[in-house]
Every structure is written in C-alpha cells, then in structure tokens.
Amino acid sequence: MSTSTTSEISSLLETLTTSLDVFKAELVRQHFPEPSLLTSRPHAIDDPSYVTPPRMYEARRVAVSSLDRLRLLLESPAEALAVSCIASGEIQGVRLAAELGLHEVLADAQNPEEGEDVRVVAVKTRTDAPKLVNRGWFRETKAGWFANNRRSHMLQKGSKGYHCAKDMSFYMNNAIDKLPEAMTHPDESFRMSRNPERTAWNIYANSDLPFFGPRSWLSDKPGEAERFALGMGGYGVASDNGVTYDVPWMDFVKGKDAIVDVGGGQGTLCCALAAAYPEVKFVVQDLPATREAAEKYIASRGVAGRVIFEEQDFFEPNRRRGTGRYVFLMQKVLHDWSDEEGARILSNILDGESQMFIIDLIIPPTTVSPDGPSVKESLATVDIQGPYKPIPSPPFIPNDFGDMHRIAHSINICLISLCNSFERTYADMENMVRLAGMRIKTVTTTR
C-alpha cells in the first residue's frame, strides 16, 4: 500500500485536466476543431505528415499516461485479466480488417458517415458476416451498420499503417504466440539459449535459420524480405516525424558527403529525410533481397535522384568505409543483435572521417514517485514550436510515461521472440558501443 498521504486519483485527475486544457489550447492556436468519435472524417492531426508541436505532444503524452494510471486504479483486476487473456482477438481483428480491405468497403458506402450494413460488408469482403473490431477501430452508427473512424483510416490499403497491420503483425504475433512454448521448452539448452536460431520464431516456422541476416529465414523465403521491409516502414509511422525533425541533421551533415542508412530496408527514413532536407544526399544499404522494394519505394517518393540503394551485408566491411566523409545511420537494427554482434557491425562501418548515429529505443526505469514538478509548471516551459525537450514525469506518472512507452516494451517482447535480442538500457548501449571501440558523444530525444 502506498505510504503517500496525497490522493493518487485526485493528483492524476488534476494532471489530466491540466494537460487536456493545454492540448485544447493548442488545437485552438492551430485553428483545428476538437477530434470527434462520431465522424468518419479523419482529423488534421492524424495525417502522417503532420508534425505535432512540442507542447501539444507533451500535453497529449501526459494526458494519455494519466488516463492509463487512472484506469489501473479504477479497473477490476479480475476484469483486466479477462480482457488481457483475449487481447489477441483485437490484434488479429485489425490484421484481418486490413487484409479484407474493410476501410475501402466502408469508405465506398453511399453515405460514409452512416456506413454500411454488415450484411453488405459480408458480401463485398466475401466473408461470413465479419465481426468488426470493437475497441475503437470502427463505429457502429446504428444496429448492424458500421463506418470508418479516425483509427480505421490508418488501415487504408497501401498506406504505412496498412502494412504495419497486415505485414508487421504477421511476423510479430506469430513469433510471440510461440514464446511461452520457447521459454518452457523441455530442452534446457533451447530455453536458456541466446542463439538467434533457437527462438520462438524458429518453433513457429519450423526452421533452423535465424530470422535476420544474410543467410536467414527472411533471405531464404522469396518475397519475405520485401514484405518485412514494408512492415518495418509501416511500424515507423509512429516515430518517423520525430526522427526527421527533432534530430539536428544539418549540424551532423556539415562537411559530409551523404547520410548512409545501413540496414535501411526500403528506405522509408531516408525518403522522409530527403523530403525535409533537399540539399542532402542519401544512401540506403541493405541485402540484395530488399533492392526491388527499396527502389520501388524511393521512386514512388520522387527522390530517386538524391536517394540511392546499395547492396550491403553489415557483417562485412562497409563499401563506403574510407571512401569519403559520411554520417552512417542505423535505425532499429542493432536491437536485433547481441552486444558482441552489434559491436562487430559497428566495427565494420566507422572510420575516423565519419560519424555514427544510432536510432534505437532506450528502455528507462518504470518507477513511479508521488513527488515531482506539476505538469502545469512543466508544460509552461515547453516552447510552442521550438526544439523538442521532454518534460519530467509528474507525480504518480511512471518515469517512462507508462502507456505512452508501451511500444518500446512491446517491441522488446517481439525481439525476444524473433531473435533472442532485447531493447537496451542506456548502460547496455554504452557497453555495446564500447566493445566496438567507440563512445557515446550525445543523446537526442525525439517525439
């Protein structure tokens, strides 16, 4: 039981109210209406190209975290357990909705605000009266009639969200589904192994190949590397804007020939950076199996003249090493590998004329304290449009802001399931970099 004399509910309610007031003020400042759950039209702040101003971002982050903590205080533990036990239904429902093209069916309704009769949906999707995802992914406008909402627009066919729901979900959830079996495997050498060939994914795929690498399950199965690259591009939709606009790229590229994204997949990040910084040249490096998807994506973004693709196995010496002055970039790559393998990858890249920039999640402590600055004081210090700087957690809000950091902890489980790897703490990252003969010079926090 908490020893604090302060009411957690009252404190969190005050934090929630204050952060919502700031969020609403930001909407007014930008001449936006409030979001609504009663319309099929997307809101302006839902556009993937929209960059949330720092103060608005922090207000939303605090509000969502406050709601999460209040839910934990108010909910029945028994009901929470029951919901968790069937949570996979939502995951598979979202994936199915994307694969069936449900967004398009509802968008094509005669009146998109009213939606479509579920019987018509069944005919158009050639399924047996599909059960639409509850949990806020669609709207039931009247009994048996369903329409799109803000969330469901993320499932529009061909969009980043579509590939996240359809492709990334396939890999992650099939692997996680086998994690209990892997961690209770009767063979102790299997369940205690950190080997990337002895994972939950290996059980699912009935394969002895690691998931990643030049000789891997992805490279061995035609089309899978391209599919995974599309899924990763979709997964990045939640963080790409922060990486694009919160990192001082122009400072990094002064005197450099190009930014080289090692293990860059289809080039999602480089294309976003190329659109924001037209004077910079970019190179996307990845395995040969990714070339087709990368060149197609780069061309679709209209930046083929400034973003090129190169074949590169990052376990081999980098072809650009020693040939110029570059900013080498690795985004969400090193977390797939052990400290030793990560150090080996880094050692193959950097020379004295270049810089290394690592983009990975850092796992902070999840501790909670009744103390801390009030959110009103903290938000007042955040610039409306200036450089992003996170505020400290308010009283009773976890150090990692709880639900707002859920992606990092969820990805951690995915990494364990796919390749026996983990997201790193700052100390873990320092250790890997030190093994490569390097040191961390600076850390940039992004939205």
Give 250-270 pLDDT, tens digit per residue. 999 999 999 999 999 999 999
Model confidence at 185, pLDDT cuts 50, 70, 90, reads very high
Least confident of 2-6, 185-189, 395-399: 2-6
Residue in this structure with the two tokens 């209770």, named with its chain if needed: 184
Higher pLDDT, 32 or 160: 32
> Catalytic amino acids?
335
Query: Cβ(287)–Cβ(353) under 8 Å?
Result: no
Instruction: State residue 287's pLDDT score.
Output: 92
Q: How much is the average pLDDT of 94-122?
A: 95
Higher pLDDT, 319 or 289: 319
Rounded-to-integer distance, Cα 78 and Cα 59, Å:
31
- The CATH code of the domain at 159-364+400-447 is 3.40.50.150
* 220: number of Cβ within 10 Å: 12
Question: How high is the mean pLDDT of the chain?
Answer: 93
Instruction: State residue 1's pLDDT score.
Output: 53
Query: Cβ(115)–Cβ(147) under 8 Å?
Result: yes
Domain boundaries, the chain: 8-78+366-399, 159-364+400-447
| The 116-117 sheet, strands edge to edge | 116-117, 145-147, 139-142
Q: How much is the average pLDDT of 63-90?
A: 94
Model confidence at 81, pLDDT cuts 50, 70, 90, reads very high
Q: Where are the beta strands (DSSP E) in 186-266?
A: 258-262
**pTM score of the predicted model:** 0.89
pLDDT over 70 at 359, yes or no: yes
pLDDT over 90 at 385, yes or no: no
